[in-house]
Each structure stands twice: as C-alpha cells, then as structure tokens.
Amino acid sequence: MAVITAGSQRSFRVTRGFGLQLAGPTVCPSSYPEPGPPGHPGRGGNRVRLALGVMVALGRTDLDVFPICLGGNVFGWTADEPQSQAVLDAYAAGGGTFIDTSNSYGVEHGRSETIIGRWMADRGNRDQLVVATKVGGGRGPVRNLRPETIKHEAHVSLERLQIERIDLYYAHFDDPETPLEESLRALDALVRAGTVRHLGASNYTPERLIAALEIQREHGLAEFTVLQPHYNLVERDFERTLLPVADAWDLAVLPYYALAKGFLTGKYRPGSEPVESTRAEGARAYLERGGVAVLAALDEVAAAHDTTVAAVAIAWLLARPRVVAPIASARTTEQLEQILPAATLRLTSSEIDRLSATAEKR
C-alpha cells in the first residue's frame, strides 16, 4: 500500500491488487463521542476493506472516503430498486465506500434512503461505508430547517437507512425563515447525542454560510466541515463565490452535478441522437454555451489516457483546490463504468490548464 499526498488538501491511500487493505484513518480530535463499531471507516485503529481502491481524508473529519462519492438522487426516480442495487453493487465492487442521498430524493419522500438502507441490510456492508444524507430539501412541510423538522427527519432517515448513526448530515438548503442559531443548535444536538457524526452545508450563499460558521464557532457548536456546492468544468461560479469561504474555514468540498447533468459524459453532441433523460434539455443547453470546445478538449485528454470523457471531467475536479470527492450519479452499471476510472486518473498540469482555459472561454 502506498500513501500519496496531493497538495495540502488530500491524503491518498492506494492499494494495488485485490485482497485485504489495512489502513489507519486520519483522526481529528473531537469533543464528541467517538462513534462507529470497530472496522467502521474513520474509527481509530486499523480497518479492513475488501476491494481495490483509493482512500482520501475527508477534510477535518475523522473519515476516509473513496474519492468518487456515489450520488443517490436517481435511486427511486430514474432507476428502480433492482437497477439501483445493481449500481450500488458495482460501485462497492469497484472499491467505492461513500454514498450520498437525501430525505427528499426519490419520487416519494425518502425513497432513495429506503433503497440504500435495504441494500446495506441485504449485503451486510454498513461498516465498510460512509453514508451522507440531508435535511431541509424536497417539497411541502419538511422543506425547512426548524429544530423539530431536523430532529424528526434525522430519526426517520435512520429508520429508512437501517443504520444507527449518520456519518455526514447536510443542511440541504438554507432556510431564511428559521433563525439560523436555532437550526444550528438542533444540528449540534444530533452530533452530541451521537445520532450524527459530522455536519455539512449545501446551497448556502457565501454570506449566510459565513454567518452560520461564525455562530457555530462563537457558541462552541458542532461545525460544518464539509461543503457541497454546484461545481464542475462548465459551472465555475463556485470559484468566485464559495471557494474563498471554504479556504478561510478549512472546508472539504464535495461538488454535486460533477458531470453537469450528464453533459460532461460526452453523450450530448451536435447532431447526435436524442438522449432519453429527464435532464437532457438542461444538458444539451451547454452546447449553445461553448460546450463543443470543452468536449473537444475532454476528448483529446481522454484519448491520451485511454479513458472516458466522464473520468477526465471528474479528475479535473479532483485536481481543484479543496475538492475531496465529487458526487456523481449513475442510473446503470454502464454509466458507472464511465465514472470509476477517475478515482486513479491523474492529469498533468498542462492538461488541467488546458481544460480550465477552454471552459473559461465559453
């Protein structure tokens, strides 16, 4: 096993070949109880993981994760339960350990969590996984961050996921109608109770995120240590808005829409056959905004590495400051196969610069 340090943000643990991997995680001191049974990713002491893979330290948390986080937003939506379980099986077989979902994902509330929970129970692999879920999204009466909603939804998520503790719990969307401190104290209570290990934030403005972090620091509350922003090769506002906040507060970044609704897989091209997807219209819109040149650059880099366009797009994200594990979803195992090579793909500095410059000219 080799330990590779990439810049100041990520520490990689690489295992070549199949068999047992024993690796001590990066442990950060915490005033909260040390959760998780022996062998759970991130717990002090050695852990055993079966599969080929790469592990990366998740910022200031005590978690080590696979550098591609599997998004569960399609489970129970465009992928039914058998399809979802096939993708989950393939992800785990490829070394994947990090799954992202939400209480609001799926056609029905919590459907994605239910599918993931049944899969973990059937496979008996909970202790090999890091599970992230969210509160505050969706529609209707649960789309808020009121203390009672946070407490109730966390426990319902535990039931659906069939787990005793949530590894990473996000405030999915800011709730300007609820006093910020009330929401943050409710999240802190979950950490202190051992219901949640670590906290993350998503879809906050820079100003509101800073305000939340300052309240947490001032009152000694459990802090957001992970940020989940909209960020990819063709969506770069994060670099101007939230990246300075992530730098100042030492936040690990896990971008969602890492493949720009599928556009960065290369399947949307001028003159190509229509793609049957609920995201097709949004993805094809990038073609009219300079996306053709971006695809050409991706094609060239992918050919140089004998890999997929999707893998190159994710590898570009992995090379960006503060990014730890981009989130990408797959409706089929074939789509997943396009993504997984990014875990070990290392682009040259000139390739990174070329992709960045091409996208900036859009």
Q: What is the set of active-site residues?
A: 105
How many Å apart are CA 21 and CA 53, to the nearest integer? 9
Name the β-bridge partners of 202: 228
Which 3-state string (H, E, C) describes 103-122? CCCCCCCCHHHHHHHHHHHH
Q: Do you know the residue count of the chain?
A: 362
Nearest C-alpha neighbor of 57 from the set 24, 91, 92, 17? 24
Q: Per the structure block, which two tokens stand in for 326?
A: 């981009």
Following DSSP, what letter does each residue of 264-320 receive, concatenated? GGT---TTPPPP--TTHHHHHGGGGGTHHHHHHHHHHHHHHHT--HHHHHHHHHHTS
Burial class (CB in 10 A: 0-12, 13-18, 19+), 108: exposed
Buried b or exposed e, range 276-303, using 16+ CB within 10 angstroms: ebebbeebbebbeeebeebbebbeebbe
CB 142 within 8 A of CB 177: no
Closest CA to 330 of 287, 277, 285, 293: 277
C-alpha neighbours within 13 Å on the C-beta side of residue 75: 29
Contact 118, 72 (CB under 8 A): no
Which residue's structure tokens are 């465009």? 78
CB-CB contact of 344 with 279 (8 Å): no
Please tell me the distance from the alpha carbon of residue 239 to that of residue 223, in angstroms, as a whole number. 22
Q: Determine whether 141 is exposed, middle or buried from the number of CB atoms within 10 Å of its CB (0-12, 13-18, 19+).
A: exposed
